Structure 1
């Protein structure tokens, strides 16, 4: 099996119509709570670097060690451990709070510096007179959780992103056990925030999210999954940010959907009531194709009532505008899910 066209961009004029210009291939996997494939498009087992969709599961060793109770982390702070946050003040304050509770500060973060995602999300230029620190990086919440694990276990805080560090070994081993794959079968690469990231079949990522959405009902990691799911669905604004897709997906889900995007066009969603997990990968990494594809999957699975459809309409077939604001085309989905039965 191979990736198939999932979305395309068009170009033209309203009075003459729009013509396909670019086609983005990809794959979709929809699985049940046992990991059985239900629906697919393209290659449902496409080897996929999980990127930031992995964040809740990178937090597992800390959760399993009773770290939140040890340091007194609140739900909004736990959501930040799973976040690709926008660098809004509430996010920065939350990361500072976590670091303060573990006796460290942002100088210990090894995620690097990055412009806050807020500006791109709301369509504003980033200030030119600002300098950014690791605190502003969208992964600083995850990294504060990494540091919390180090403090909890008396491990070195320097070099915690290195593959040989005890933290990263614990993450690798816990992930392999959770996903049911030998660690050697999960390709490893360096993520944008310098931490190790793992690849797995797209269907395995979907299964992780099917389980995450069940929270405390997960038979293997119930309590830990419950903590993570409740934090993410309870504070989607901390996981994501203003005008960001994960905030929209989880708000539309009303506590029933847990969602996390990953860089280079990865999206995972778990739906508690349906007992399913969804994972989507756009092969060329184009996020502009990811959002219409995600809307289409939710619609084809019958998960969008009128209220949800209205809230998420902006992602169905978003317009492409030029520098003057004129509509030059749109992005539209192309695929139909195929039953795996």
Structure 2
């Protein structure tokens, strides 16, 4: 008999009601961690490896930034933010990536991310033009891929195979990520992301720690550069009406946010020295904003008077096509502070090694 695949121990985070009855339940897990790896609070399973998806992007840009790439090619802070982005394909995003490619003597044909309609249209509820011809520049990951190509140019490495997990670039990313979190490189489960790039699974506690380190005032220069670029240019990290932009605008200069496909969201909070990582189990975006608002409320990060631009996320209203309120999305979880036994191993559990900045 085939051995059962292990599954994460998710818990109910959000329920959707219709009238006064529960109609749907959204399971998931979350972790709140400090930069040193201490697990501060959790719900569900924060030790099961879950794919980081686009929350990995700042750390995929880390080798290029650490090696002085932005200064070498004259990339602006906004373009560094684009390397960390799931951008919306707005004109400023397309122009920024096109300029990056020009600076490294590549064209968009070198991008191996594929193409799709700009996310701008879905985010703003507009229909794409009938004659839209999407190119790799429109892909939300084109800034990341331009950064990959720039690393190859910087180091004289081949560009045709830059997505191969064995390519020196991808090995450098894996080493940097493992070193950042004090993990062994062979402890990072590998998968291929939607854009073709290698992606790694991490326990949510480790992902939260990574964002706490990204937001730390004492972060080493490469992380500090990435934090400054993302928080200084949040409009390049996402786009109009997108979660990451709204989060970073809500606490300008303090919160660094990056979401990922299939219900993943990470947030670093500089003023509190913590990182947050959230996974909605079924990958649905429907419950994500309500879950985020509930986490921020429970951590005392949203003003009680409703002054935050994120206050509407609390309401979780479900309306039909006529605009009538039919139900709500409601949080049903509690943040639990782990016991000493859980904290003693740090955020990532037993397979850890000495952390190096």
TM-score class, shorter-chain normalisation, is: over 0.9
Distance in 1 between the 2:45 and 2:317 partners?
28
Distance in 2 between the 1:322 and 1:108 partners?
44
Gaps of 5+ in 2: 1-7, 340-357
Which residue of the partner structure matches residue 68 of structure 1? Answer: 70
Deviation at 1:181, TM superposition (A): 1.2
Of residues 3, 7, 15, the one that matches 1:8 is 15
Deviation at 1:332, TM superposition (A): 2.3
Distance in 1 between the 2:337 and 2:294 partners?
15
Which residue of the partner structure matches residue 261 of structure 2? Answer: 263
Give TM-score, length-normalised by structure 2. 0.90
Give the direction of change, closer, same or farther, for the CA distance of 1:89–1:47 in structure 2 (3 Å limit): same
**Pairwise CA RMSD:** 1.5
Which residue of the partner structure matches residue 37 of structure 2? Answer: 35
Give the direction of change, closer, same or farther, for the CA distance of 1:192–1:320 in structure 2 (3 Å limit): same
Distance in 2 between the 1:146 and 1:110 partners?
10
- Residues 66-100 of structure 1, C-alpha deviations (whole Å, 9 max, x = no match): 00110011111010000000110111111011111
Deviation at 1:308, TM superposition (A): 7.0
Distance in 2 between the 1:308 and 1:235 partners?
25
Distance in 1 between the 2:52 and 2:249 partners?
23
Moved more, 271-280 or 328-337: 328-337
- Residues 113-141 of structure 1, C-alpha deviations (whole Å, 9 max, x = no match): 11111111111122222110110000001
- Residues 242-295 of structure 1, C-alpha deviations (whole Å, 9 max, x = no match): 000111111111211111101101111111111111111111111111211111
Moved more, 321-330 or 154-163: 321-330
Give matches, 1:280-295, under 5 Å.
280-295=278-293
Distance in 2 between the 1:33 and 1:138 partners?
29
Distance in 2 between the 1:120 and 1:298 partners?
26
Which residue of the partner structure matches residue 114 of structure 2? Answer: 112
Which residue of the partner structure matches residue 189 of structure 1? Answer: 191
Deviation at 1:236, TM superposition (A): 0.5
Distance in 1 between the 2:208 and 2:305 partners?
25
- Residues 197-242 of structure 1, C-alpha deviations (whole Å, 9 max, x = no match): 0001110000000000015x12xxx000110000000000100100
Provide the secondary structure at the position in 1 that maps to 2:162.
Answer: coil
Deviation at 1:318, TM superposition (A): 2.9
Give TM-score, length-normalised by structure 1. 0.94
Asked if residue 161 in structure 1 is aligned to residue 159 in structure 2, the reply is no
Which residue of the partner structure matches residue 133 of structure 2? Answer: 131
Contact 1:87 1:137 in 2 (8 A): yes
Moved more, 171-180 or 145-154: 171-180
How many pairs align? 332
Of residues 227, 231, 234, the one that matches 1:233 is 231
Give matches, 1:194-205, under 5 Å.
194-205=196-207
Contact 2:250 2:308 in 1 (8 A): no
Deviation at 1:182, TM superposition (A): 1.2
Provide the secondary structure at the position in 1 that maps to 2:128.
Answer: coil
Deviation at 1:326, TM superposition (A): 4.0
Distance in 2 between the 1:5 and 1:213 partners?
29
Provide the secondary structure at the position in 1 that maps to 2:311.
Answer: helix
Deviation at 1:314, TM superposition (A): 2.4
Contact 1:5 1:334 in 2 (8 A): yes
Of residues 248, 273, 276, the one that matches 1:275 is 273
Give the direction of change, closer, same or farther, for the CA distance of 1:2–1:329 in structure 2 (3 Å limit): same
Give the direction of change, closer, same or farther, for the CA distance of 1:307–1:241 in structure 2 (3 Å limit): farther
Give the direction of change, closer, same or farther, for the CA distance of 1:98–1:19 in structure 2 (3 Å limit): same
Contact 1:29 1:45 in 2 (8 A): no
Give the direction of change, closer, same or farther, for the CA distance of 1:256–1:94 in structure 2 (3 Å limit): same
Asked if residue 339 in structure 1 is aligned to residue 316 in structure 2, the reply is no
Contact 1:289 1:331 in 2 (8 A): yes
